[in-house]
Amino acid sequence: MTLLNTILPEQRRGKLKALLDAGKTVRVLEAHNGLSGIIANTLEVTGESEGKSVARQFDAIWESSLTDSASKGHPDIEVVTFDSRFHTINEILAVTDKPMIVDGDTGGDANTFEYTVSKLERAGVSAVIIEDKVFPKRNSLEAGVQQNLQEPEVFAQKIRRGKSIQKSNDFMIIARIESLIAGKPMEDALNRATQYLQAGVDGIMIHSKSKNPDEILEFSQKYQIILKDLKLDKPLVCVPTTYNTITEDELSAAGFNIIIYANHLLRSAYHAMMETAKTLLRNQRSLEADPLCVPVREIFKTVGFLEVKEKDQQDEQTTNIPVIIPAAGEDPVFKEMLNGKPKTMLEIGGKTLIDHQIQTLSNANLADITLIAGYGKDKLHVEGIEVLENPDYQKGSMLNSLLVAKEKMANGFIMLYSDILMEDAILNKLMDCKEDIVLVADNSTQYHQPEEGHALDYIISKNHYKPARRAIRFTGENTVANIGIKINPETATHEFIGLARFSKTGAEQFLETYSDVISNFTGPFQESEDIANLTFTDLMQEMIDRGFAVHYMEIHKGWLEIHNTDHIALAQKSFNA
Ligand code: SPV
Ligand code: MG
């Protein structure tokens, strides 16, 4: 979930105000980069409460100066520039859709703050919190640090300037009071609250590094009175880092509207990184560190890599996959009938074989068709497709013709024998297959007799499944164990119909295996008596033997091969039907 989680700035900005207006106590988690942003944005825990299932999430993201600086290896003293902070802010905004509250440090002087407000508002940030210290501030949590407070009048003026520059109604400027951090009395904090509210601030954050919540609870009580006196209703924010026993419900009941967990993802990530690094050093290998780590795939999932993979696969399926039809060979059966024309020009139902194939392919949106011609090339008449020539069609097998179109194969391809006709459903089903190599295989082979002079491409499926024995099939079983013309028809489970699909990866594997076989072997190979006559099914068997998964897509009839005149009659009949 990354890009799917994004949102336009206008849609995001008002989300914080909307939550507050709805009376919600807003739970906020720190993020310091895109990945921690995704966690803060999407993490959900579920459970049960009073018999009902409940889900809990964070409502907003805190872009903390402490954790942004620390993740860059820097102290939290406004030494990390606003441009660098803004880079992190954008990084998080790019992969999230929840409202973001930015830790604006002191905000700089009033002019600087105006630019900050303008940029944050435009980016879709919902609120900026600025603290009433003198630039450059020091982080609030460390004891014994000199904390210089800004004059409240000067700070109030900065708020006015910020409010005057914002364009929308939904961007919030929240004033953070550091009196308790600087060791000033409660009175100082309350006076400042009054002044900032009068300057038009949208909310107050009271900060404390006390171990118990007493002082912020006291502040809240008195803050509610100030609001009443001023006839205002402005949210109150706390950051319970040091006073961490108090619960959200208790803080909410005490009048707090926004609760920020300001640094916990960075601190816990640091702890985990240290433990893992120590484990690697101690063991001088990574085995022992593995249980401390999430699987790589979980990271892939979180950052959207698996979505990318899926989209790539979908694109591969929907883009125009090249179809290669090797049609170079001479078929003596139709010699007279064709009178020197290639077999692909056979007429069936008033249309040539190739035109029938083009029609079926275009019904499946496949328009990039290449035919490999050889015998009778000059008498080939076909339109709208590419024709390549295999001048050596008399040597070698149909595989050689197929490889004439090697250039077409790089991003995946479909191979179709030139003498088969099929129903649209078969191609449509093939287009949905996700495996890298898929052969279309008919399981009605036991009803199909081998023909005189024409060997069939038999398949034995890996699970040796015979359709008669089992009715229910489970996905993932469809891999080929054996393929070839010499397989005993009795043991064959399927017949390869002459239609195959290769993904980009499948095509790479196919071409690599071919090139290795051709350059490194001589003599008999798989079923061929000589490597020079290597067939498509030989190469498939070789790939299987080398461990590549060759899948099949099972069909039951719905196709025809034209090997003799009876087949033509049969085809004609089915076109008339
Ligand atoms: C931050 O997270 O950077 C804060 C809160 O400003 S604190 O570190 O407690 O000051
Ligand atoms: Mg800070």
Question: Quick one: pLDDT at residue 310?
Answer: 82
Q: Which ligand is nearest to the CA of 107?
A: 2
Is 103 touching ligand 1 by the criterion CB < 6 Å?
A: yes
Q: Where does residue 32 rank: exposed (0-12), middle (13-18), buried (19+ CB within 10 A)?
A: buried
Mutate-to-test residue for ligand 1 from 239, 244, 264, 266, highest number of ligand atoms within 8 A of CB: 239
Q: Hey, where are the domains in the chain?
A: 2-262, 318-576
Tell me which CATH homologous superfamily contains domain 2-262.
Phosphoenolpyruvate-binding domains (3.20.20.60)
Catalytic residue among 21, 59, 68, 76: 76
Is 65 touching ligand 1 by the criterion CB < 6 Å?
A: yes
Structural tokens at position 210: 């006390």
Residue 272 in 3-state DSSP?
Answer: helix
Mutate-to-test residue for ligand 1 from 29, 32, 80, 103, highest number of ligand atoms within 8 A of CB: 103
Rounded distance between C-alpha atoms, residue 512 and residue 531, angstroms: 16
Q: How far is CA 545 from CA 58, 441, 457, 541, in A?
A: 53, 19, 17, 6
How many C-beta atoms surround the C-beta of residue 78 within 10 A? 21
Question: Quick one: pLDDT at residue 474?
Answer: 47
Q: Where does residue 416 rank: exposed (0-12), middle (13-18), buried (19+ CB within 10 A)?
A: buried
CB 483 within 8 A of CB 441: no
**Can 76 be counted among the known catalytic residues?**
yes
pTM > 0.85: yes or no: no
In the reported structure, the alpha carbon of residue 105 is separated from the centroid of ligand 1 by a whole-number distance in angstroms of 9
Q: Which ligand is nearest to the CA of 77?
A: 2
In the reported structure, the alpha carbon of residue 514 is separated from the centroid of ligand 1 by a whole-number distance in angstroms of 62
Q: Look up the CATH architecture of domain 318-576.
A: Alpha-Beta Complex (3.90)
In the reported structure, the alpha carbon of residue 55 is separated from the centroid of ligand 2 by a whole-number distance in angstroms of 30
**pLDDT tens, N- to C-terminus, the chain (577 residues):** 567 678 999 999 999 999 999 999 999 999 999 999 999 999 999 998 888 999 999 999 999 999 999 999 999 999 999 999 999 999 999 999 999 999 999 999 999 999 999 999 999 999 999 999 999 999 999 999 999 999 999 999 999 999 999 999 999 999 999 999 999 999 999 999 999 999 999 999 999 999 999 999 999 999 999 999 999 999 999 999 999 999 999 999 999 999 999 999 999 999 999 999 999 999 999 999 999 999 999 999 999 998 888 887 776 666 679 999 999 998 888 888 888 999 999 998 889 999 999 999 999 989 999 999 999 999 999 999 999 999 999 998 999 999 999 999 998 999 999 999 999 999 999 998 989 999 999 998 766 666 666 789 999 998 765 554 444 454 446 899 999 999 998 889 999 999 999 999 999 999 999 999 999 999 999 999 999 999 999 999 999 999 999 999 999 989 988 888 888 888 877 766 5
Which ligand 1 atom lies nearest to the CA of residue 69? 3
Is 64 touching ligand 1 by the criterion CB < 6 Å?
A: yes
Is 262 touching ligand 1 by the criterion CB < 6 Å?
A: yes
Residue with tokens 């319970």: 240
In the reported structure, the alpha carbon of residue 64 is separated from the centroid of ligand 2 by a whole-number distance in angstroms of 5
Nearest CA-CA partner of 418 in 344, 332, 347: 344
CB 558 within 8 A of CB 423: yes
Which ligand 1 atom lies nearest to the CA of residue 140? 10
CA angle at 550 for the pair 549 and 556, rounded to the nearest 5°:
140
**Burial state string for 370-400 with b = 16 or more CB within 10 A and e = fewer than 16:** bbbbbbbbeebebeebeebebeebeebbbbb
- Fold match, 2-262 / 318-576: no
Mutate-to-test residue for ligand 1 from 131, 206, 263, 267, highest number of ligand atoms within 8 A of CB: 263
In the reported structure, the alpha carbon of residue 203 is separated from the centroid of ligand 2 by a whole-number distance in angstroms of 17
Query: How many Å is the Cα radius of gyration of the chain?
Result: 36
Question: Quick one: pLDDT at residue 321?
Answer: 92
List the shell of residues around ion ligand 2, using CB closer than 5 Å: 65-66, 103
